Structure 1
Amino acid sequence: MSGRWAFPKLGSMPFAPSFAVMFRTRDNVRIDAAHTPSRGADDLGIVLAHGFTGSLRERSTRRIAHVLSGFGGVISFDFRGHGRSGGESTVGDLEILDMDAAVRHARAIGYTRVALVGFSMGGAVAVRHAGVLGGVDAVASVSAPARWYYRGTRPMRQVHWAIEQPLGRWIAKVGKRTRIMKGVWDPLPLAPYEAAAKISPTPLLVVHGDADAFFPLDHPYQIYEAALEPKELWIEPGYGHAESAATPELIRRVGEWVTTRS
């Protein structure tokens, strides 16, 4: 942990100050992160995970970290291949190791309860982490896909083009600072809905908007129906996709859920 404050404000809008952090995964990838100390429960750490091509430095992610810090300390981080983190994005597979490093860091700095809050790809990784690796106290998955290779919407066809085509990967690298692996998964990772079946008895919250342009409502229902109790499903009227569409009121509700369930 560095001794300087990172991201104290954005323009004229003050955010809760955060410390810059760096840690390494079990496969030795450097992960760039930030710790926003708690303005709420001192024993609760919230690991906040962004979506594909996102970053902890984006305004929407910083706003979410600020709101969640009213409920517990927040560890936000850039997945591998994103921003200032090392490695290449595996688009939801090895990212569970990035999240695990953030969980271990939260434990190491004194948080006795650790909850995961992930958006889109980060939501899928949160479900997969809890189902495959475990060791957390609550999971909130927001706007996440239930299964791999979904191409049923135009935005997801564009995402797959960026992942699969050399020009798409170059544009993602230059335009979004996202470095994406070449080739295909081998073996195929456990799908989020399959991992959801392994989370219990850890509480799971699935949040999805009925105006999500990336993943239609069969995705949250598939995750929710695969999971065992305790679980909750929130279908949010008018909510679009992931961090950029999440209102402070929705994030506060997620923070309240995490506080009471973890």
Structure 2
Amino acid sequence: MSTGSEGPYRTSIIPLFTRAPLRTVLRTADGVRIEAVYEPCTAGFTPTAIVVAHGFTGSVDRPAVRRAARVFAQRAAVVTFSFRGHGGSGGRSTVGDREVLDLVAAVEWARSLGHTRVVTVGFSMGGSVVLRHAAMRATESVHRGRTEARTDAVVAVSAPARWYYRGTAPMRRLHWVVGHPVGRLVGRYGLRTRIHPRDWDPVPVSPVEAVPLIAPTPLLIVHGDRDAYFPLDHPRMLVAAVEDGPAELWLEVGMGHAENAADDELLGRIGRWLDGE
């Protein structure tokens, strides 16, 4: 892969007709180094780029993330990246809070490479991040008035609707990993995820509070009926919160949780939805 020089985000340093992937390091607004990969559309240059936000404990090089990128690249260019505290990125995970700055950097990079239409797809924790990012486009200073940070469509897969949910055994285990010193050691050495020890202050806007602010940006909520982390009241709550604008809900029969459970057929349908089909 090619490598770019570091900066807040990249200006176009490769020809737009290149077929070679590009691996680089981005710098977020709060100074965190984020590893990222750009993959051109296999069908040739397209104005659309899909930015993929992985789930907690994921990374740009995890097989499920690479598989999603491969499927999406059949229709558009793809940007994948590792959230802070994950993979080769710097910093420590705030489990969905400051991660919105990582997504902003990735979206801006996609636009700097010549893509005039940039859309976001997030899984689990990444799903909550893409929802908050889409809502922030006109309501919070994180975008600092720069239109490069906006998204033109958003898909949240297996996303929570509210914070601090402990209603399932996997989520109780996750809260132990995040909130207990021994749990954070397990996260660091067992799950390869470095977790910030401080609680949120202030608590960020929850996904269900963010959803009403997303319109008129097109929104798709995708959730499996066998999700062991978040039951079906979460996606239904998210869609019910939409007050205006286009929004769809796909409840997938037999699907589990996040990118590991999203098969090629579902990823292909998401790609077609993002392409307006």
Same fold, judged at TM 0.5 (above): yes
**Residue 21 in 1 paired to residue 27 in 2?**
no
- Quote how far apart the aligned CAs of 1:23 are: 0.7
**Residue 226 in 1 paired to residue 230 in 2?**
no
- Quote how far apart the aligned CAs of 1:17 are: 6.3
Match of 1:139 among 149, 154, 158: 154
Q: 2:22 & 2:136 partners in 1: Cα distance?
A: 29
Partner of 1:104: 108
Partner of 1:215: 230
Partner of 1:2: 2
Partner of 2:11: none
**Residue 33 in 1 paired to residue 36 in 2?**
yes
Percent identity, aligned pairs only, is 53
Partner of 1:161: 176
- Quote how far apart the aligned CAs of 1:56 are: 1.2
Partner of 2:12: none
Partner of 1:148: 163
Write out per-residue CA displacement over residues 97-152 of structure 1, whole angstroms, 9 at most, x where no aligned residue: 00000000000001100000010000110000000136110000000000100000
* TM-score of the pair, normalised by structure 1: 0.92
Partner of 1:193: 208
What SS class does the counterpart of residue 238 from structure 2 fall into?
A: helix
Match of 1:93 among 89, 93, 97: 97
Write out per-residue CA displacement over residues 70-109 of structure 1, whole angstroms, 9 at most, x where no aligned residue: 1111100000111110111110011110000000000000
- Quote how far apart the aligned CAs of 1:250 are: 0.1
Partner of 2:52: 48
Write out per-residue CA displacement over residues 162-217 of structure 1, whole angstroms, 9 at most, x where no aligned residue: 00011110111112221111121111100001111100000000000000000000
Partner of 2:143: none
Write out per-residue CA displacement over residues 1-50 of structure 1, whole angstroms, 9 at most, x where no aligned residue: 9349xxxxxxxxxxx96321211111111000111111246100100010
Q: 1:73 & 1:239 partners in 2: Cα distance?
A: 26
Is 215-224 or 132-141 further displaced after alignment?
A: 132-141
Q: 1:67 & 1:39 partners in 2: Cα distance?
A: 10
Write out per-residue CA displacement over residues 46-68 of structure 1, whole angstroms, 9 at most, x where no aligned residue: 00010001111111110000000
Count of aligned pairs: 250
**Residue 253 in 1 paired to residue 256 in 2?**
no
Amino acid of the structure 2 residue aligned with 1:240: G
1:230-241, aligned counterparts within 5 Å? Answer: 230-241=246-257
Partner of 2:8: none
Q: 1:212 & 1:45 partners in 2: Cα distance?
A: 28
- Contact 2:52–2:80 under 8 Å retained in 1: yes
Amino acid of the structure 1 residue aligned with 2:31: N
Amino acid of the structure 1 residue aligned with 2:60: L
- Contact 2:52–2:121 under 8 Å retained in 1: yes
Q: 1:36 & 1:2 partners in 2: Cα distance?
A: 11
* TM-score of the pair, normalised by structure 2: 0.87
RMSD: 1.5
Q: 1:255 & 1:76 partners in 2: Cα distance?
A: 15
Gaps of 5+ in 1: 5-15
Following superposition, which runs of at least 4 residues in structure 1 exceed 3 angstroms of deviation? 1-4
- Contact 2:2–2:20 under 8 Å retained in 1: no
Write out per-residue CA displacement over residues 220-245 of structure 1, whole angstroms, 9 at most, x where no aligned residue: 01111112320000000000000111
